[in-house]
């Protein structure tokens, strides 16, 4: 099961969620500078970013977390997915992506943007647009496509 976490409920899940997000945030130097724990928590608390968590209901434990932000660039609303981490992603990733896509469309977003590993290209149809100076791939995908 995957669900969004309202800002009012962050205190209940933050420590475990950061445990999954930190490796993604520190994998690349510029990402580590941009995504440190306290700054991200503040962005989540002020609803400038959204936290999503994946649960393994059989074992009653969190198995992953992700962060989104809605941004406007050149008049186009983007669903940015800067951080995702967890265990057993192939089990919960497709549900995670569908939920993010549907939520992004409901927010008026047209394109999803992710940075990092290129597995999302194979799994969810993202296309590589280039690389950042620190080596992270930048990938995009129209949200309206299935």
DSSP state of 108: T
Domain 2-142: which topology?
A: Aminopeptidase (3.40.630)
The DSSP result for 130-146, as a single string, is EE-TTS-EEEEEETT--
Query: Which residue bears the tokens 């100076």?
Result: 133
Q: Model confidence over 111-129: pLDDT tens digits? A: 999 887 788 888 998 999 9
* Whole-structure pTM value: 0.89
State residue 27's pLDDT score: 76
- 40-90, pLDDT tens digit by residue? 898 999 999 999 999 988 888 899 999 999 999 999 999 999 889 999 999
Strand arrangement of the beta sheet that strand 76-86 belongs to:
2-5, 50-56, 61-73, 76-86, 111-116, 137-142, 127-131
């Amino acid at each position: 099961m995957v669900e969004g976490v309202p800002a009012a409920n962050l205190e209940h899940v933050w420590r475990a969620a950061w445990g999954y997000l930190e490796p993604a945030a520190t994998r690349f130097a510029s990402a580590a500078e941009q995504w440190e724990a306290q700054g991200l928590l503040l962005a989540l608390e002020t609803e400038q970013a959204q936290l999503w968590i994946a649960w393994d209901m059989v074992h009653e434990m969190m198995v992953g977390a992700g962060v989104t932000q809605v941004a406007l660039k050149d008049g186009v609303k983007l669903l940015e997915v800067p951080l995702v981490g967890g265990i057993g992603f192939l089990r919960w990733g497709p549900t995670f992506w569908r939920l993010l896509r549907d939520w992004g469309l409901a927010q008026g977003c047209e394109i999803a943007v992710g940075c990092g590993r290129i597995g999302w290209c194979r799994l969810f149809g993202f296309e590589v647009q280039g690389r950042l100076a620190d080596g992270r791939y930048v990938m995009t995908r129209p949200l309206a496509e299935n």
